Amino acid sequence: MVRDTNRHFKFDWITIILFLLLVGFGWLNILSASHTGTTINYFDFSQPFGKQLIFIFLTFGLIILLLAVDAKFYERFSSVIYIISMLSLVGLFLFGKNVNGATSWYAIGGMTIQPSEFAKTATALAVAKYISDLNTNINSFKDQIRTFIIIIIPAVLVLLQNDTGSTIVYGAFFFVLYREGLPKYYLTIGISTLFLSILSLKFGAIITSILALILVVSFHFLSKKKLRVFQSALILIAAFAVSFGVKFFYQSILQPHQQDRISLWLRLEKDPEKLEQMKRTFAYNLNESEKAISSGGFTGRGFLEGTRTTGKFVPEQHTDYIFSTVGEEWGFLGSAFVVVVFVLLLLRILHLAELQKSQFSRVYGYGVASIIFIHFFINIGMVMGLIPTIGIPLPLFSYGGSGLWAFTILIFIFIKLDSNKINEW
Amino acid sequence: MRQFLLFISIIAVGLVFIARLFYLQVYNSSGHDLFEDNAIRKVYDYPKRGFVYDRNGELLVANQPSYDVMVIPREVEPLDTLEFCKLLKIDKERFINKYKKAKHYSPRLPSVFVSHLSKEDYAVLQEKMRKFQGFYIQKRSLRNYETTIGANVLGDIGEVNNAIIRKDPYYKMGDLIGKQGVEASYENTLRGIKGIKFIQKDRFNRNIGPYKDGKFDTIPEQGKDITITIDAQLQAYGELLMQNKRGGVIAIEPSSGEILAMVAAPTYNPNILVGRDRSKNFTKLYNDSIAKPLFNRSLQGVYEPGSPFKLMNALIALQEEVLTPEETVTCYAGYKYGNRFMKCHCNRGTRNDMIGGIQRSCNAYFATTYRKILDKNGNASDGIDTWSKHAKSFGLGNFLGYDLKVGQKGRIPDRDYYKRIYPKTFYSTYTISNAIGQGEVATTPIQLANMVAAIANRGHYFTPHIIKNIEGETLPEQFTKPKQTTIDKANFEPVIEGMLQVYKKGTAASLQVKDIDICGKTGTVENFVKIDSLKTQLTDHSIFVAFAPKDNPKIAIAVFVENGYWGSRFAGRIASLMIEKHIKGHTTRKDMEEWLLKHSLENEYAKPYSGEPFRINGYTTLQIVEEQEYYKLKKELNRINKAEN
């Protein structure tokens, strides 16, 4: 059955409505977090909320452009887009502008552009293109390596620019690869490494190693699936290596501020004096944002009524900590609403991706959902103190033109691809 | 299954987030309370505390400014402690202690760091205050006493403690509250209501502006001035006469129940409980467990009333019609009951009717009367209940309901009380001491003064009170509505006649005042203490009650002087002088005033603590005060007498 032959209405309106909801509600909160004084001039373009209004306005032009381009264009030119994007990241080392310790911006006139935001979209296109190639078999080790290289290049480039948060986002592609047939042991290794690292940091390498020993030995003798002795031994050695290696990684490779964040998250610091000091310094944002959210209560203090928001208690509240404004002014109802809208958007994209007939569209759709999911998980998790502080924006919500446009491009390319699936035979 | 990993992750993360939000915002929410919100600075505006005037409009209590250094521990930034300590004139150890204590109380609420800065220190400190983040100066208003008298009436204000803060959230750390006297009784009237300003802060602790344009701000409501019933001159005069004695004096205006004077001796200058030395001085007063200057003897002192209670027995006898005023009782210099004997001062064979009995304070007459009351129906238990009911209708044996916070019930025994002591049999003779106001009956000076006021009014009284007028308010009905006793009006006349004769030719004949018909009654009360668990008798208490004039009475008074020996010796003199002072406005008997100033009972009070054996009553000699002290008192007397004219 043909879904809808009318060209103008074949776009997935559910996704578009959810997108608009987030952008609109996001702007209200940026207004709250950045306005000063009692009277508000909505068109004061020197203020973040005014600038964001321009960004949103320009976004509509961008959307029309994205939807007007032929769907095939994105697949055909994905390699070119990827290469241009990578060059723009390399170019940062020469022409980049340093903001807050990260060299992630080009300054053009009065505006700044963050190419790393766009690189995610480019990478998603490239990965989709490579995997959907008929010659690629994700189960072969050679193709796995090649796919990893596509992902690793931008990840390393942004890491070198001191933008750790964006690097972690590239981990999102694990979901994509796994969906497309990456062997299961990657998942096992990934999850085990994460668990062992956390256990080792929290309880020490020796206890973790003993625990690993008990687990591996009991698994070896009790499991129906018989492993050979040397296989089990190998696993054990790897577990020991992780247990002891993570300490080294933590102490020698991580920078002090990263150590502090992990130490606070895992409650490694027991000295109350030191904890108090942490709360005043690097954990200040987190502490204040949790307090702001908590003070919202069930129904919130109301739009523009948050005392912590008005008093600018949470630094960077209009960017990475925007969710704390939602928490304070809109309360549990508003915050849960935002979470639900995000979940619906992600599930909708996921659902559409599974419906795609072309593998390129499906992989790309998966990429879109994964990237947004990682942002959503890390940003809100951080603002509520569930995971260590990692500075990345909340998609469509946080202040910033590059971020808004990058996510608009990411989502609307997929909407365009989806609208075109009727022609995919 | 592979397509479900991301799907499940999204759902799981969504649920975890909502659970976390629920925990932060619903389960563990800090809520919307503006007072709990540390983004909002609360600035209190303290109103003027109401002034206190005496009945003649003389200003007794006013205010003076005072400056406290406050601290909010959470907001304190590293500072130059040495300089700060120097400015505050404290040492580093004290600084650390104070800081710890404040932090322990609350890191986010203000605590008093140093209280009552002098004006000079304040001026110096104020300029440097911005250097010390987390500290600020709070202006408060302290009391300024325009007088040196009436500490027990006026009371004092002091810092609230944690228990009060928990009970009444109006009070914040460092606030002042009435602790004793009228300051405590009329706290809510005097204090007014403090105003509050909510100010939006930013994260650098700077003020951005009023929160919501001051929508929730309140302006302070000024404390109301009050006028109390005390006559400052009479009070000062009473306090002066009670110097170097212990006891209480209460003077009441019978027609209104207004307390004209309320002296508790020894007392102290109310000014010593103001300002920086307050706690030092208070501790000193509090720890004086022998003289007990904080103990308000006129309200809290429970004494056996002695002979003045005979008036009560006479009234009950007449009301119960167990005798007529004309019936006589022959006194054999005492009263024999069973194989025991109660002594009396009457000459053997004196025949006393009621007036004579009162006039000569005849023990035999009242022992007979008391027995007649109890044995009226042949059952002493019924009799004691009837007797008790009448006595209680005068406000004895219970709290009177006056508007000061301290007091004692005293004791008027009844059937139940004696049931515990004499479970099997009970005869009137068991309690014969009650006939002469000793034994189980016990009263406070204010109860006795109230009883005299009821006699003066011929049957009713107004609940004694200290408040005369509150700005713009009427007095509560409890103070303006008369309370009726159970004695008929006609039965008062013989008793009052007897009281008049006490002055004309009885036990107080030496205390007559020209042109004033005073009705009174002396009392001399045996009393005992335990010294090394040995019951030891001390010199008798000197007690006197009176009202005047006989017709249309203006004052009813009760005077208790501990260990003053017989009734007219100290108490009678003081009562007589105070009555004259109140009615005439001046006194004529300078020699009597001087006698009182000159004589001290301090060595009498020292006896039980001396560890030496001592003698009492007739074997004592009066102590003369030192010359220096005498001149000091004399000067004060001249000042009071001059002020009146």
- Whether residue B46 is found in the same domain as residue B102: yes
Picking from B39, B70, B78, the residue whose alpha carbon sits closest to that of residue B135 is B70
DSSP characters over B24-51: IIIIS---S-TTT-TTEEEEEEPPPPPP
The answer to whether residue B545 sits within a structural domain is yes
Distance CA B603, CA B599 (A): 11
Picking from B319, B317, B559, the residue whose alpha carbon sits closest to that of residue B452 is B559
Distance CA A328, CA A302 (A): 8
Q: Which two tokens stand for residue A415?
A: 């909407």
Q: What is the H or E stretch that residue B202 is in? A: none
Distance CA B25, CA B32 (A): 11
- Report whether the peptide linkage leading into residue B266 is cis, meaning its omega lies within 30 degrees of zero: yes
- Whether residue B264 is found in the same domain as residue B222: no
- Whether residue B432 is found in the same domain as residue B510: yes
The answer to whether B475 contacts chain A (CB < 8 Å) is no
Q: CB B16 to CB A350 under 8 A?
A: no
- Whether residue B111 is found in the same domain as residue B187: yes
Predicted pLDDT at A422: 66
- Whether residue B105 is found in the same domain as residue B189: yes
Distance CA B238, CA A102 (A): 85
- Whether residue B448 is found in the same domain as residue B386: yes
Predicted pLDDT at A425: 47
CA torsion, ordered B320, B323, B326, B332, to nearest 10 deg: -130
The size of chain B, in residues, is: 645
- pLDDT less than 50: residues of chain B: none
Q: In the listed set B228, B245, B271, which residue is the last one of a domain according to the structure?
A: B228
Residue range B237-286, pLDDT digits in tens: 999 999 999 999 999 999 999 999 999 989 999 999 887 788 889 999 99
Distance CA B418, CA B374 (A): 13
Picking from B289, B295, B309, B307, the residue whose alpha carbon sits closest to that of residue B266 is B295
The answer to whether residue B35 sits within a structural domain is no
Q: CB A297 to CB B10 under 8 A?
A: no
Question: Which residue in chain A has the smallest CA separation from B5?
Answer: A175
> How would you write the pLDDT of chain A (425 residues) with one tens digit per residue?
444 445 545 899 999 999 999 999 999 999 988 887 667 777 788 888 989 999 999 999 999 999 999 989 999 999 999 999 999 999 998 888 877 777 788 888 777 889 999 999 999 999 999 999 888 888 888 999 999 999 999 999 999 988 888 999 999 999 999 999 888 888 888 888 889 888 888 888 888 888 888 888 888 888 777 778 888 888 888 888 888 888 888 888 888 888 888 888 887 777 777 777 777 677 778 888 888 888 888 888 888 878 777 777 787 888 889 999 999 999 999 999 999 999 999 999 999 999 998 999 999 999 999 999 999 999 999 999 898 888 899 999 999 899 999 999 999 999 999 998 766 54
Picking from A348, A389, A355, A356, the residue whose alpha carbon sits closest to that of residue A372 is A348
Number of domains in chain B: 2
The three-point CA angle B231-B237-B240 to 5° equals 140
Predicted pLDDT at B137: 85
The answer to whether residue B254 sits within a structural domain is yes
CB B601 within 8 A of CB B246: yes
Residue A395: list chain B partners with CB under 8 A. none
Predicted pLDDT at B174: 81
DSSP E strand boundaries for B491-588: 519-531, 534-548, 555-561
- Which residues, 6+ apart, have CB-to-CB distance to B448 below 8 Å? B250, B305, B308, B543, B545, B558
CB B506 within 8 A of CB B500: no
Count CB-CB contacts under 10 A for residue B106: 13
B346: left (phi over 0), alpha (psi -120 to 50) or beta: beta
The answer to whether residue B603 sits within a structural domain is yes
**Structural domain containing residue B162:** 42-228
CA atoms within 13 A on the CB side of A280: 12
Picking from A6, A141, A97, A74, the residue whose alpha carbon sits closest to that of residue A412 is A74
The answer to whether residue B1 sits within a structural domain is no
- Whether residue B563 is found in the same domain as residue B470: yes
Q: CB A310 to CB B39 under 8 A?
A: yes
Q: CB A313 to CB B209 under 8 A?
A: no
Q: CB A369 to CB B6 under 8 A?
A: yes
Q: In the listed set B200, B228, B256, which residue is the last one of a domain according to the structure?
A: B228
> How many helices and strands (H and E) does chain A possess?
18, 3
The answer to whether B22 contacts chain A (CB < 8 Å) is yes
C-alpha dist (Å) from residue A390 to A103, A265, A277, A377? 17, 11, 20, 11
Q: CB A350 to CB B6 under 8 A?
A: yes
Angle of helix A13-34 relative to helix A322-355, nearest 10 degrees, comes to 170
ipTM > 0.95 (yes/no) = no
- Which residues, 6+ apart, have CB-to-CB distance to B281 below 8 Å? B272, B273
The answer to whether B144 contacts chain A (CB < 8 Å) is no
Residue B32: list chain A partners with CB under 8 A. 295, 297, 301
CB B60 within 8 A of CB B150: yes
The answer to whether A191 contacts chain B (CB < 8 Å) is no
The answer to whether residue B11 sits within a structural domain is no
- Which residues, 6+ apart, have CB-to-CB distance to A185 below 8 Å? none
The answer to whether A302 contacts chain B (CB < 8 Å) is no
Q: CB A310 to CB B213 under 8 A?
A: no
β-sheet bridge partners, residue B180: none
Best interface-test mutation with B: which of A346, A351, A382, A383 has the largest number of B CBs within 10 A?
A: A346
- The sign of the torsion formed by the CA atoms of A347, A348, A349, A351 equals positive
- Whether residue B455 is found in the same domain as residue B588: yes
Q: Which two tokens stand for residue B318?
A: 């007449």
Give me the residues of A, 339-398, that contact B with CB < 8 A.
Answer: 339-340, 342-343, 346-347, 350, 354, 366, 369-370, 373, 376-377, 380-381, 384, 386
Count CB-CB contacts under 10 A for residue A203: 14
Residue A296: list chain B partners with CB under 8 A. 25, 29
Please report the number of interchain residue pairs, chain A to chain B, with beta-carbon separation below 8 angstroms: 114
- Which residues, 6+ apart, have CB-to-CB distance to B596 below 8 Å? B241, B570, B573, B574, B577
- Whether residue B264 is found in the same domain as residue B382: yes
Q: CB B29 to CB A380 under 8 A?
A: no
State how far Cα B185 lies from the chain centre. Answer: 10
Q: In the listed set B208, B228, B248, which residue is the last one of a domain according to the structure?
A: B228
Residue B5: list chain A partners with CB under 8 A. 175, 178-179, 187
* CATH assignment of the domain containing B334: 3.40.710.10
- Residue A197 to chain B, least CA–CA distance (Å): 21
- Whether residue B217 is found in the same domain as residue B329: no
The answer to whether residue B349 sits within a structural domain is yes
Residue A377: list chain B partners with CB under 8 A. 13
Picking from B396, B14, B571, B565, the residue whose alpha carbon sits closest to that of residue A350 is B14
Residue range A347-391, pLDDT digits in tens: 999 999 999 989 999 999 999 999 999 999 999 999 998 988 888
- Whether residue B198 is found in the same domain as residue B338: no
| Closest in B25, B28, B201 to A327, CB measured | B25
- Whether residue B437 is found in the same domain as residue B495: yes
Q: CB B25 to CB A307 under 8 A?
A: no
Count CB-CB contacts under 10 A for residue B3: 13
The answer to whether residue B20 sits within a structural domain is no
* CATH assignment of the domain containing B146: 3.90.1310.10
The answer to whether A173 contacts chain B (CB < 8 Å) is no
Count CB-CB contacts under 10 A for residue A42: 12
Q: What is the H or E stretch that residue B280 is in? A: helix B278-287
Look up residue B547 and give its DSSP letter: E
A41: left (phi over 0), alpha (psi -120 to 50) or beta: beta
Distance CA A94, CA A306 (A): 43
A95: left (phi over 0), alpha (psi -120 to 50) or beta: alpha
The answer to whether B216 contacts chain A (CB < 8 Å) is no
- The sign of the torsion formed by the CA atoms of B341, B345, B346, B352 equals negative
Q: List the end-to-end C-alpha distance of chain B, in Å, as a whole number.
A: 109
